[in-house]
Structures are given as structure tokens and as C-alpha cells.
Copies of this chain bind each other. A is one copy, B any other.
């Protein structure tokens, strides 16, 4: 028996937690059958779907069809007959439904990093008299690096200014060209107030780019409701698109005619198959395409997005909160040596939870060896993602107890767990 859920939470199941209760929650879970749609390895509790989502069963058959029928038999003709050419917009339209965007506002293309470059570049060109790109220290590195990269190409007075999360909103002023933030922090899972920050930016004539990599597919996102200008996001985390799946970008329709990508690729041209010497951007979101789209990755991503569109977002959001809150409560009870780095109020964090421990790396390796897969984020964080489509409350219970066993047994001190892998 464990302590009660914190009363600040929204849900109403404030019973003392027992394993019997957990099993009942699984039986009552409206998403319980979604797990069957994934090909999960036996003996594993996967708490890293926020880093790489698992394989949907339908992806295997779809990819076999894409390889055999579309590529193999259709060959070059499939650009037309299987509509590969419109796949970036078609899948973009589907993702739009998950993030509060309209059809024609989202396109799937390139990587999150490349899309950041496009949009940061477009934004700076649209605010040529302003010199500050505002973000926070400790933002996901590529967001900062790409801002640095855009600024470096411009030979101008623009600078990247980093302010702590709680000072961002007050730092926006008439010098601000652009605010670039990750909606849910990749380490702490802290949520930025998208609505308030966007409104403040607009009040001062600045633009915003939100990176949705750690929120889309796990949280309610209402880009148009918040009047967001631009956004980017990742296809291989909550959207279950596969390793290195293409990313997506959003530009509000009201901005389409005003901004253009610095990456003037032929697929974003008004008439790509006229092969003209001069660039002329396509109307609408298509102008943010660049090179030939990655069809294998795109069509794999589509399967993951389709799967998610068959669920109710409110079920996903609710279960995500309950899973993460259950974990936090269990850990506080049975493994209090781990320090919760994420916000304690479940409403203030995204779908993952980070716990600090000086030997976090070794503990995570020992945990993974025991079948509970989370990840490590330097310098000392154990990170666990709670993805509602395939995780059970029972998994969270088992994971928390395994974590407690590992920490308390000291097994993680074995030197083999200290060997650093290339990817952590």
C-alpha cells in the first residue's frame, strides 16, 4: 500500500494504491487494446518511447507493401500512382489534427534540426530590424545550435540570448525578433505556457517557434488556439514513426505568403518539374519542402500517425498523467533517494519524468539489463517516458519496484555498468 496521489492532481482516483487497484485500472483503461497494435519485445518494460517509439505491427506489413509493390513493381511511376509526391502534405495534414493545426499548415520534411534552420532563418528575414533570438539555457541543444547557425550565416547584429525559463516572458521586448522554445523540456518535462509566451511575443511584434518534439502525441496542443506562428516536431518519439523518421514543421496560414525558407530546394519550387533556373516558392506550406522526400521514412511515420488518430487525445492525455503520477508516487514511497527533477504537479509536466542520482548512468544501465528501458541524460538524470498507447499501469508498478531493487541492492556499482556507450 502506497501513499495517496497528490491532491493537486485532476483525476479522481485518490484511493490508496494497491497492486489490485492497478490491475483494475488496466482493465478499465479505454486504451488497453492499443498495446496489441505494437510489436513489443518480451521481458521488457519500455519507458523510452519518448526517445524512440516502438514498432507498430502495421508498419511491417505496410513497409513490405511499400518495398515490394510501390518501389519494386511501381518503380518511378509510384511518385504519381502511389502519390508519393503528395505524401509530405498528406502526412502533414494528419499530424495537424494532433497539434491543433489546419490542413495545409503542416508538412513532413527533413529533420527537426533542418526544419529549425528553415524557420529560424525565415523568421529573422521577416524581422530584419530586430536582433535578439530568445531561448533558454539547457534547451534541447540542436535548437540552440541551429539558431547559432542561422545567426552565423547572416553577418548581422543578431544574437542568441538565453534566459532562464521563468524569465523568458519578461525578457521579450521590442528587440526580440523571435522566441524559440521547446514546449516540454526534454530533460525536466517542464511545460512552457505556449499561450502566454506567444501572446507576449506578439504584443511586442516578435515571432515564436515552438519545438513540439517532446509534447506532440502525448499532450493537448492547440497551435491555432494559441495563435502560434511556427512550430517543428519529431516523428520518431510519440508518433512512433521509426528510427530517424522525418520531422515536420508548421507555419500558420496567415504567414504563408510572407515568409520563405532559406533552404530553397527544388521540391519547394512553384513548378518543380519545369526545372527553371530561378527559384520561385510554391504557395502554401509546400514551399518549406527542400529536397526529395524520404519516402520509406515518411510512409513508416504515416502508420504511427494513423494509429494515434484512431485514439481520443483526451484519453491519451489523461492516461499519460495517471501513468506518470503513479510512477512518481511509487518512487517517492519506495525509492526516495532519487530526486524528482520534473515538476511535482503532474499538470505542469509533459509525459516523461526525470530523477536525479549522482550515479544515474550506472543505475540506468543496470535497470536496462533488467528489462526496464529508460534513458540517461547527462550529467545525472534517469529519464522515463510514459506513453499511454502501449504501457500498462502494471508496467509502471513493476518498473518502479525494479528501479527500487536496483538502487537499493547496489548492483549498479558493478564496473561494467560504468562503460559509456556511444549513445546514452
Contact = CB atoms under 8 A, between A and B. Distances in A.
Given A48-B75, A243-B296, A266 B68 contact: no
The oligomer's copy count stands at 2
A397 to B, nearest CB: 21
Nearest to A300: B296
Nearest to A293: B244
A180 to B, nearest CB: 13
A141 B275 contact: yes
A142 interface: yes
Contacts of A114: 110, 114, 263, 265, 290-291
A48 B75 CA distance: 9
A145 B269 contact: yes
Contacts of A246: 294
B422 A79 contact: yes
Nearest to A156: B155
Among A73, A112, A137, A264, residue most surrounded by chain B Cβ atoms (within 10 Å): A264
Contacts of A263: 113-114, 117, 146, 149
B75 A244 contact: no
Given A242-B296, A290-B113, A39 B68 contact: yes
Contacts of A92: none
A353 to B, nearest CB: 17
B291 A142 contact: yes
Nearest to A121: B153
Interface residues of A, number: 98
A423 B87 CA distance: 13
A295 interface: yes
Contact of A155 (B55, B75, B155): B155
Interface stretch (A24-32, A57-65, A188-196, A249-257): A57-65
B291 A294 contact: no
21 contacts: A39-B68, A41-B73, A41-B75, A60-B68, A63-B296, A64-B64, A71-B242, A75-B373, A84-B244, A85-B422, A110-B291, A112-B291, A113-B265, A137-B277, A141-B279, A145-B265, A145-B266, A148-B278, A243-B296, A273-B422, A274-B378
Interface of A: 39, 41, 44, 46, 48, 51-52, 54-55, 59-60, 63-64, 67-68, 70-73, 75-80, 84-86, 110-114, 117, 121, 125, 137-142, 144-146, 148-150, 152-156, 162, 187, 234, 236, 242-247, 261-267, 269, 272-279, 290-298, 300, 368, 373, 375, 377-378, 421-424
Q: 7 closest pairs, A vs B, by CB?
A: A111-B291, A113-B291, A243-B295, A113-B265, A79-B423, A149-B264, A142-B266
